[in-house]
Amino acid sequence: MSKFIFVTGGVVSSLGKGITGASLAKLLQLRGFKVNMIKCDPYINIDPGTLSPYQHGEVFVTADGAEADLDLGTYERFLDVPMTKANTTTAGGIYQTVIDNERRGDYNGVTVQVIPHITNEIKKRFAAFDKNFDITIIEIGGTVGDIEGLPFLEAARQFRVERGRENVMTLHATLVPYISSAGELKTKPTQHSVNKLREIGIEPDVLACRTEHPISDSMKKKLSLFCSVEPAAVIEVMDAPSIYLVPEELEKQGLTDLVIKRLNLKAKKKNDGKWFDFVRKATSPKKQITVGIAGKYAELKDAYKSVAESLYLAGMSNKVSVKVKYINTQKDPIPASLKGLDAIIVPGGFGKRGIPGKIEAIKYARENKIPFLGICLGMQCTVIEAARNLAGLKDADSTEINPDTKNPVVAMMEDQKKIKKLGGTMRLGNYSAKIRKGSLAHKLYKKDTIEERHRHRYEYNPQFVPLLENCGLKVSAWHKELLPEIVEYPKNPFFIAVQFHPEFASRPLKPHPLFDGLAKAALKNKKN
């Protein structure tokens, strides 16, 4: 049976509950425990798949095809444990399940209510990994006091009663703000946040205090007294140069031992510090490269969270600092805004907006032999650019952008149109591809067959492959010899575009081969 740690937040959002929870998970993993994480989002959407990135940031895709919160990407990168549909739940998904049950008559005619029907369904999701992991860490999104989050917190309260205090604990992330005019930190927001949590019936066991200045021992004692936690359980969480340094900072404050003792666990091994050593060395590089991410959501960095993290992780492994420059392909001048870059990425996206700028960015990278990586829509734009500028098909387009195009080099395939009857037309999750030997992709992956995560509904139309290959744009990987998965332009040292999302598979000790290769090519390009 699993032990459970709930991570809640108060005062304000964006306190880093996901990073704090993932850091604790990593620390417990380094002690030999099997750890998994679940994210509970209180919004009524079924999943973030239909949300604008400006609303919710990046949509992370699991291997089994779930569209999920970007925190699942943080969990995967810290733990190197593949997330699944069971790792993500939303209020919308919970309510939909309960309503479907009611329509089938599963409740035998009783009045369906938040308690017990909604909370029972939530608790069922909490226990998804009960038999497979030693510890499950459950992050409840939003802040204490949000009306939509109340059923999740009530379910957490019930869960502790049912499972026993020795099996369930709560870490509450809160803010200790610094008032510059007074020149001091203030504990009152944390006190109010904890009082709100108590009103729901939950007593926090640990306070993770987000702060810009060190918290003194006397202030920790004050928080301990007013919030009913041990002084040692008041943990200071300050900004770090890298999120991967956070686990070591929490370890120094004794958080791991405190949790092990509180849950009556016995560590299976000692933390040998190797992970900390790697991160410390890798986060102090002397060289730097600048990589441009050319997309239409440039104002919101979280829209490209996994792309930026993958660049950072590739930089760590190559002992180079990666400076990311975000280029808005709808507003920024192209190609003027691309000058001076060591590499260019055109990431995924949906809709028409910003497409012309992406195509111009790809043309600039191709003509100037700048290391280039296209991702998902970035590959589709690569195909359009080649069709227009290499093959001379000036009206070549995607049927998403121009349904009446005479040259639909990017289009929805017939098999995907059939899926529409089931409510969706996207390829989601892991799909395999066979790589052509001798290609750049084969050199990077060092294998013949790969599996990567997809999130798209349009494809490089295979009918145009022979024409564009004659013009220099080669297909180097196919899905079942039917759909092009990777294209390359061999005349350039590093020019590759993929239909899938490689950014979801990068890890601190294992950067994705495509990002690792891009970092190496950018460093070489900088020297030249």
* Catalytic residue set: 376, 501, 503
Q: Closest Cα partner for 379 from 492, 272, 294, 459?
A: 459
DSSP 479-517: ETTTEEEEEE-TTSSSEEEESS-GGGG--SSS--HHHHH
Q: Which helix (H) or strand (E) holds 365?
A: helix 355-367
CA 462 to chain centre: 31
Backbone angles phi, psi at 191, to 5 degrees: -60, -45
Cβ-based burial of 58 (10 A; exposed 0-12, middle 13-18, buried ≥19): buried
- The amino acid at residue 206 is V
> How far is residue 44's CA from residue 482's CA, in Å, rounded to a whole number?
38
Cβ-based burial of 150 (10 A; exposed 0-12, middle 13-18, buried ≥19): middle
Q: Which helix (H) or strand (E) holds 381?
A: helix 377-389
> How far is residue 364's CA from residue 359's CA, in Å, rounded to a whole number?
9
- Residue that is written with structure tokens 């005619």 in the block: 109
Q: Closest Cα partner for 60 from 69, 52, 50, 51?
A: 69
- Please list the residues that pair with 208 across neighbouring strands: 173, 235
> How far is residue 59's CA from residue 51's CA, in Å, rounded to a whole number?
8
Residues 366, 487: contact at Cβ < 8 Å? no
Strand order in the sheet with 88-90: 88-90, 35-41, 135-140, 3-9, 168-175, 206-211, 234-238
CA 215 to chain centre: 30
